[in-house]
Amino acid sequence: MLDRSRPFFLLAAAALFHIVYAFPVHAQTEEWSVFASVVDRAGAPVQGLGTPDFVVRENGMAREILRVAPASDSIRIALLIDTSQEMRSELIDVRQSLRTFVNEIDRRHEVALVGFGGPPTVLIDYTKDVKRLEGGIGRLVARPGTGSYLLSAIIDTSRTLRKRRDLRRVMVIVTTQGPEFSEISYQTVLEYVRDSGAPMHSYVLRREGVSPTDPAAQEVELTLAVGTQMTGGRREDLLSAMSMTGRLQSLAIELNNQYQVVYARPKTLIPPKTIDVGVRKPDVVVRAPRVF
């Protein structure tokens, strides 16, 4: 069951960042491209959409849609997994969830595993080898006496992802409530996320009666809430690790079935600050970057 409570002032925080996630198709043209997920109310991908179905607005101004097609290029997917001692009772279910995800995701995509119980560690570098990923997942353990370094892990991962701008990039975070030791502001973290070009998806295991009141925990909350909202990712709070398998499987199916929307943008020295991607179809959910 999802806990949809939001104790933080997200609207004011969101206004602080201009995050770019649309990409120029050709440097000398006015064509730009954005990737979007379209799902129905049950979370199933909506297929068969074309150019007449999409609407793109920048700074509130409608743009001409040039073409729409299923996204066919590869994605680099970073799975950031909390391996702190707070996860010791959750990792059995988390491992099953991750196995489901790596088996569901298309083989054209590359996946890496990063642990952040203690200083962030790349456990399995980017690979399409499912057996290698499953082996790494099987070795995931909670590290005794460690706390979370999630914000450091996001920065390290963002630095790596931004080096491969020829590929789409995605960041998936699995964590729980517990001590955070990174000592980094959420503004700084989101600057790195912006530069990486990676939508952020987060899955947080909540503990009943625990609220993020200390400053470090609040930086984590704002990073995940603002980051997912602005990059077009999912933000899901879970009360049980057993529910994570279905959520990660749904995300994998969604990533396998995104659209690439190519549209015309007037030449200008000042880039737009906002983007709004929608479809002319009722009862669907569109996930795409919202802010440049």
**Per-residue pLDDT tens digits for 9-52:** 344 444 344 444 555 555 454 889 999 999 999 999 999 999 99
Domains in the chain with CATH codes: 1-258+266-292 (3.40.50.410)
d(CA 283, CA 157): 35
Q: How many CB atoms lie within 10 A of CB 207?
A: 12
Least-confidence region, from 1-5, 37-41, 127-131: 1-5
Q: Tokens for 266? A: 């007037």
According to DSSP, the β-strands at 110-115 and 75-81 are: parallel
Question: What confidence tier does 66 reach under pLDDT thresholds 50, 70, 90?
Answer: very high
Amino acid sitting at position 269: L
| Averaged pLDDT, 271-278 | 90
The separation between CA 266 and the C-alpha centre of its own chain, rounded to angstroms, equals 29
Q: What percent of the chain has pLDDT over 90?
A: 76
pLDDT at 5: 42
Sequence-distant (6+) residues with CB within 8 A of 30 are 264, 265, 266, 267
pTM over 0.95: no
pLDDT in tens, 212-266: 668 888 999 999 999 999 999 999 999 999 999 999 999 999 999 999 999 998 8
State the pLDDT at residue 212.
Answer: 65
pLDDT at 20: 43
80 Cα distance to chain centroid? 10
Predicted confidence (pLDDT) per residue in 279-289, tens digit: 999 999 999 98
Q: HSE (CB half, 13 Å, CA atoms) of 253?
A: 16
